[in-house]
Amino acid sequence: MEQSFSYPKTLCKEQFYEAFLADYSLYIEGETDIISTMANTAAALREAFGFFWVGFYCVHDSEWLHLGPFQGTAACTRIRFGRGVCGSCWSADESIIVPDVDQFPGHIACSSASRSEIVIPVHDKARNVIAVLDIDSDTLAAFDETDRKGLEAIIRAFEATVS
């Protein structure tokens, strides 16, 4: 099924997220392979929003996240529980917005071009964190509450496909 995730730049950010969510929810519906859905989620988000880096880190065991499907430059493969922005999102089980990565204690720099980021937890049906969605920008303070709400809604649609 061909699907383009491209929207008019005239839409405000809320409308842009709404338009994306409508297409995205239909596109991923019925697919139960989580890696396939992660891969398409990263590709669709990159196409629509032009993010510098977007991808998943997946819970591997009680201590480690491993790099999952992503779009962007090559990245570090493992992140420990509670470390960096991704590990902190996992341990706190809440979304984290970092306006300036240099000000975040323990930030893990996979690319020196990354200046700000947002990380969203992904849950299974039992509400265990099974992965985090990590999005990086090459500009400072690129993410706000509209992004958090929009991306959490996208992840809720993703979680609906997870058993």
Q: In the complex, which residues of this chain contact ligand SME (CB under 6 A)?
A: 53, 75-76, 79, 84-86, 107-108, 110, 114, 117, 134, 136
Would you say 16 or 116 has its CB closer to ligand SME?
Answer: 116
**Distance of closest approach, residue 108 Cβ to ligand SME, in angstroms:** 4
Q: Tokens for 59, please give them.
A: 């819970």
Would you say 17 or 53 has its CB closer to ligand SME?
Answer: 53
Taking the C-alpha atoms of 63, 36, 41 and 32 in order, what is their torsion angle to the nearest 10 degrees? -90
**Distance of closest approach, residue 112 Cβ to ligand SME, in angstroms:** 11
The number of beta carbons lying within 10 Å of the beta carbon of residue 111 is 15
Task: Give Dmax over CA atoms of the chain in angstroms.
Answer: 44
One-letter amino acid for residue 139 of the chain: T
Would you say 134 or 154 has its CB closer to ligand SME?
Answer: 134
Annotate 42-72 with b (16+ C-beta within 10 A) or e (fewer). Answer: bebbbbbbebbbbbbbbbeeeebbebbbbbb
Measured CA to CA, the distance from residue 111 to residue 139 in angstroms comes to 13
Would you say 21 or 58 has its CB closer to ligand SME?
Answer: 58
**Distance of closest approach, residue 39 Cβ to ligand SME, in angstroms:** 16
Residue with tokens 């917005």: 97
Would you say 38 or 110 has its CB closer to ligand SME?
Answer: 110
**Distance of closest approach, residue 156 Cβ to ligand SME, in angstroms:** 22
**Distance of closest approach, residue 98 Cβ to ligand SME, in angstroms:** 8
